[in-house]
Structure 1
Amino acid sequence: MQRIPVQNPDGTPAMPTKLARAKKWVEHGKAKWVKTDLRIKAVRLVSEPSGRDTQPIAVGIDPGKMFSGIGVQSAKATLFTAHLLLPFKRVKDRMESRAMMRRNRRGRRINRKLPFELRNHRQERFDNRKQKKVPPSIRANRQLELRVVTELCQLFPISKIVFEYVRARTKEGCSFSPVMVGQKWMIAQLEKLAPVRTLYGWQSASMRDHLGLSKSKDKSEQSPQSHAVDGVALAASEFVGYLKYHRNNSRGADWFGAVNVTSAQFVVIQRPPVSRRQLHLMVPAKGGNRRKYGGTVTRHGFRKGDLVIAEKKGIQSIGWVSGDTKNQVSVSDFNWRRIAQFTASKVQLLYRSTGLLVNCPQRLSVVGASSAVV
C-alpha cells in the first residue's frame, strides 16, 4: 500500500500515511493537498495532531557519474525511489565551449602590430594550476543529489542519511574516478540536513543481495532496478546489519534487525537543459550581427521549465516550456525533444518551474520482492 508524506500545520514533516487514509482526511476537511517540487502527492493537516512522535526513516544515496539512485525507507515500508540523470556531460561540454569562446575573444582584442610588451594581454591574477575547489561538472552532480535530498527532508522526518562512499588505493593527489571527487564536500553538506553514515560499494551490494533486490545491468535504464534499488538497500541498512556475535560455545556473524521492502512511487529526475543567457551566439549571423541566445524568460508569461498543458488541433499535450517565438510557445517532453509549437493562448500553466524535471513513468514501482529480515 502506497504511503504519502504528511505535513504538520506549520509545514514540518510528520509520519507518512496510506493514500486511502489521506483521501478521507481531505474529504472530511482534516487535511488539504499540497504541491511538492518532486511531484509527490502530499497532504498538510489543518489542525494540530494529537502527537508529533516520529519513527526512524532513512535516505540512501547511490552517487554516480552519469546516474544516481535514491531511496527512502522505514522499517515497515519503502516510501520513495528515484533515478537521477546527472548533468555531468552537459556541464563539461559547456565549460569547454566557454573556455574556447573566451580564448577567441581575447585573441581578437590583441593588436598584433604592436611590440609584444605593449600588447593588451590579460595580466596573471592567480595560479590556476593548483585548485582545491570541486570541478563544476562534479559539483553539478552532487548539487542535484543534494537538492533532491533537501526536498525529501521537508516531506519525511529523515533521521539518517546513508551515503555510498567510493574508496580506492591511488597515488597521492590522484583520483580513482569522478565519483570520488567531492565526496567529502558532499558529506559535509548532507550533515547539515541529518546525521550521515557511509557504506562502501561491496556493503551495499551485499545488502541488496540479502534483501532479494534485482539489479539491471543497463545503467542508463530508467527503472527502479538500475540505481534506485541501491538507494533502497543503503537506506535499509539502517535497520538491518550483518554483525559479529560471540557466545559461550560459538562465534560467527549473522543478519540482525527487521525491514520490509515494498512497492513505492518511482520518479526520474533531471535538470532542465536550459542554456544560460549569452550576449550573443558564437558565430556571427549574416551582416555580422549575432542574435540573443539563452535565458529562462519568454515573451508570453511562461518560464522555461514550466510544466504546461497545451492544445493543438483538438489534441492536448503535457510537457515543459523550452522556448518561444513571437506568437507561439515551444513545449518539449521529458527528454527535451520538442513536441510542437503551440499558440500562446492555448497553453495553460500546471506547475511553475522549480529547476527540476520530474517524470513519473510508474506511480507504483516494485523495487523487489517484499522481504522481512529478523
Structure 2
Amino acid sequence: MKKGKRRWNENFSPVQAGKEYFYRRLRELGFEPVLRQGHETKALREQFGLRKSHNKKERSFFSHCVDAWVLAASVSGAERPDHAGLYYLVPLRFHRRQLHRLEPDRGGVRRPYGGTRSLGFKRGTLVRHPEWGLCCVGGHRGGRLSLHDLSTGKRLTQNAKPEDCRALTCVSWRSQYISEKGCFSGLSSRPLKGVGLQAAPFYEYNLSKGEKAENIKRAINYYREMLIV
C-alpha cells in the first residue's frame, strides 16, 4: 500500500456501490426509493427505544437489522420487534484452478489440493454420517473424506469412509442461526429526545414466559405513553 493512500474498504465503498445498484434496479422496475438520512433513522431508533451496535462484526439484530426495522415500523405501525433471530450465511469457497500445493514436498512431489470433487462427491455436498451426523464434504486424502461442520465450517474428521456418507444434496453456503436471546436488551433506558421523562428500563430477568410477557407489555405501554405526550 502506498504511503498516504486510503485503505481499501475504509468507507464501505463496496457497500455503497451495491446500494446504488439496488436503487437503480428498483427505478428500472418502476419504483422510486424513498431514502432516509442517518439522523432520521437515529431519531426513529430513539423513538422506539432501540440502540444500534457500532460493531459491524457483531452477529446480532442490533448490528445489521435495527435500522431496517425502525423504517418499516414507522410505516406499518409495529410497536416492537417480535422476532430478532437471524441467519448468518457464508458462501463456500473452492480453489477451482489450484489442483496441487504450490510448494512441493520431499522428492519434488506436489500434493493434491483444490478442485471441486472428492472421491466421487462434489465438495460442499450435504451428507449424513453415522458418527458425525449432518455435515458437508471437504477435501480427501488417502481414500478418506474430510467432513466439516455445517455452521462453523470446522473440520470434524479427515478419516470418513465414502461408503459411510449418504449424500443428501449439494449446498453452496454454510448457515448458522443466531438466537434472539438477549436481543431486547437493546431497548434503551436513556431519556428520549424531546421528552422530559426517563424512559422505563427494559430489564432482563430470569423469569417465566408469562412474567417476561407482562414486563414487555408494561415497557411498551410506558414508551407509548411517553411518545403520545
Place the TM-score, normalised by the shorter chain, in its bin. Answer: 0.5 to 0.7
Q: Distance in 2 between matches of 1:339 and 1:230?
A: 38
**Aligned with 1:352 (options 167, 170, 173):** 170
- Counterparts of residues 305-344 of structure 1 (less than 5 Å): 305-312=124-131, 316-333=132-149, 334-341=151-158, 342-344=160-162
Q: How is 1:291-302 mapped onto 2 (pairs within 5 angstroms)?
A: 291-301=111-121
Cα distance, 1:219–1:264 mapped onto 2, change above 3 Å: closer
How has the CA–CA distance of structure 1 residues 187 and 295 changed in structure 2, closer, same or farther, with 3 Å as cutoff?
farther
* Structure 2 segments unaligned to the other structure (5+ residues): 1-7, 188-215
Q: CA 1:300–1:356 in structure 2 vs 1: closer, same or farther (change >3 Å)?
A: same
Structure 1 spans left out of the alignment, 5+ residues: 1-136, 139-174, 241-257
Q: Report the Cα offset of residue 189 of structure 1.
A: 4.3
Q: Does 1:184 align with 2:20?
A: yes
- Partner SS, residue 156 of structure 2: strand
User: Aligned-residue CA RMSD in angstroms?
Assistant: 3.6
CA distance in structure 2 between the aligned counterparts of 1:219 and 1:192, rounded to whole angstroms: 31
Give the aligned length.
178
For residue 51 of structure 2, the aligned residue among 188, 192, 214 is: 214
Give the C-alpha shift of residue 176 in structure 1.
4.4
**The structure with more strand, counted as a fraction of residues:** 1
CA contact (8 A) 1:331 1:339 kept: yes
CA contact (8 A) 1:306 1:349 kept: yes
The one-letter amino acid paired with 1:357 is R
Displacement of 1:338 after TM fit? 0.6
Give the 5 Å matches for 1:1-374: 176-178=11-13, 179-189=15-25, 195=31, 196-237=33-74, 239=75, 258-260=77-79, 261-263=81-83, 265-301=85-121, 303-312=122-131, 316-333=132-149, 334-341=151-158, 342-353=160-171, 355-362=172-179, 367-368=183-184
**For 2:41, what is the secondary structure of its paired residue?**
helix
| In structure 2, distance between residues paired with 1:217 and 1:206 | 16
Q: What per-residue deviation string (whole Å, max 9, x for no partner) do you get for residues 99-135 of structure 1?
A: xxxxxxxxxxxxxxxxxxxxxxxxxxxxxxxxxxxxx
TM-score of the pair, normalised by structure 1: 0.39
What secondary structure is seen at the aligned counterpart in 1 of 2:16? coil
| Residues 222 and 309 (structure 1), Cα distance of their counterparts in 2 relative to 1, 3 Å cut | farther
CA contact (8 A) 1:224 1:365 kept: no
Identity of paired residues, percent? Answer: 26
Letter in 1 for 2:127: V
Task: Give 1 or 2: higher helix fraction.
Answer: 2
1:343 aligned partner, one-letter code: K
Aligned to 2:194: none
CA distance in structure 1 between the partners assigned to 2:29 and 2:134 by the alignment: 34
2:135 is aligned with what amino acid? G
Q: CA deviation at 1:193?
A: 7.2
Question: 1:193-227 CA distances to partner (integer Å, 9 max, x unpaired)?
Answer: 78444333333232223223333454323232322
Shift of 1:265: 4.5
Which amino acid is 1:229 matched to?
A: V
| Equivalent pair of 2:99/2:115 in contact (CA under 8 Å) | no
Runs of 4+ in 1 over 6 A off after TM superposition: none
Tell me the CA shift for residue 187 of structure 1: 2.9
Q: What's the CA shift string for 1:152-203, capped at 9, x where partnerless?
A: xxxxxxxxxxxxxxxxxxxxxxx94434345423433455678444333333
Q: Report the Cα offset of residue 276 of structure 1.
A: 3.0
Counterpart of 2:166 in 1: which secondary structure?
strand
Q: Is the 8 A contact 2:61 2:84 kept in 1?
A: no
- Take 1:265 and 1:317, find their aligned partners in 2: how far apart are those partners? 25
The 1:346–1:279 alpha-carbon spacing in structure 2 relative to 1, beyond 3 Å, is: closer
Give TM-score scaled by structure 2 length.
0.59
Q: Give the C-alpha shift of residue 347 in structure 1.
A: 2.2
